[in-house]
Amino acid sequence: MYKSFGNLLTAMVTPFDSELKVNYTKLRELAHKLVDEGNDGLVVLGTTGEVPTLNYQEKLQILSTVVSEVGDKAEIIAGTGSYSTEESIKLSIEAEEIGVDGIMVVVPYYNKPPQYALYNHFKTVAGSVDLPLMIYNVPSRTSRNIEVDTVRKLAEIDNIIAIKEASGDLNQVNKLSLIKKKDFYIYSGDDTLTMPIMSLGGEGVVSVAGHVAAREIKEMITLYKAGNSVQSRELNKKLIPVYNGVFIDTNPIPVKEALRITGFEAGDPRPPLYRLQEDKRKELTEILKEADLIK
């Protein structure tokens, strides 16, 4: 039986320097910051980490850096999935050799594989490693929803143990909660839906807001799981503007700016993304002030 990855995982941004090269010094600092502030794990090389703009060697060095810095303090989950099954396998094997604790594999995007093809994709990737695998369902980006019946069949594979569910469909989450495998964990892929998904049996969240509000989110989750639903709900209400604020523009543009506003310089996104526009920066600053995340 595989254990949970924890309750609060943050999908980590990739810091860049002024020349938009990976800033490995800041990467190390950010990994420590996120773990010190309460994250149980880090998802590295996800969409928030601007993985489509990273070359292969950058991906390997980023994974190696994070594992060497905080691999003994937190679960490190590598985003190894892509459009290509072959490439997903290759990076998954490399990630296992580097020493990550698990892999996250996104639903292949763009050409909309049918459900039986999705099943074969995830089964094949899972079979290439001994690591636990988290399915990442984000149809708003991939243009394909992985259906509950497909997930249910995939959950029969020993090392497929979790799903990051970002469909926004709570009825789908409700059906996923009926999967009988004991070590199958549902994670919200949307900060705003963490509490509703936990109410349906979810384990926690793969967060973006965790970059700037990890302590508060962790407290909210801990209170909820301890049965203090009223206190948890009140804290969650305070955080809702922050959840929405870090998506005030295309991810990860706002969260990189939120880090800058709160005192951590992670650089600008790589093109085709750009730094947050000034009007939205002012709005985001006010949101962070109202949530008592800055003075």
Instruction: For residue 220, give the CATH number of its domain.
Output: 3.20.20.70
**Residues identified as active-site:** 136, 164
The domain of 55 spans 8-226
Q: Is residue 248 part of a domain?
A: no
- Residue 173: inside a domain: yes
Helices (H), the chain: 24-36, 56-70, 85-98, 115-127, 139-142, 148-154, 170-176, 194-199, 210-225, 229-245, 253-261, 278-290
Specify if 81 maps to a domain: yes
Q: What does the pLDDT read at residue 1?
A: 74
Mean predicted confidence (pLDDT) in 38-54: 97
Confidence at residue 280, expressed as pLDDT on a 0 to 100 scale: 98
Would 264 be classed as within a structural domain?
Answer: no
Average pLDDT over residues 51-66: 98
Domain annotation covers residue 255:
no
pLDDT given for residue 182 in this prediction: 87
Residue 157's pLDDT is 97
Q: Look at residue 107 and tell me if it is in a domain.
A: yes
Mean pLDDT, range 3-21, rounded to an integer: 97
- Are the C-beta atoms of 173 and 200 separated by less than 8 Å? yes
Indicate the pTM of the whole model. Answer: 0.96
Residue 79 lies in a domain: yes
The angle formed by the CA atoms of residues 29, 268 and 279, to the nearest 5 degrees, is 120
| pLDDT tens profile 226-282 | 999 999 999 999 999 999 999 999 999 999 999 999 999 999 999 999 999 999 999
Residue 204 φ/ψ region, left for φ over 0, alpha for ψ in the -120 to 50 degree band, beta for the rest:
left
Q: Averaged over 148-166, what is the pLDDT? A: 98
Number of domains within the chain:
1
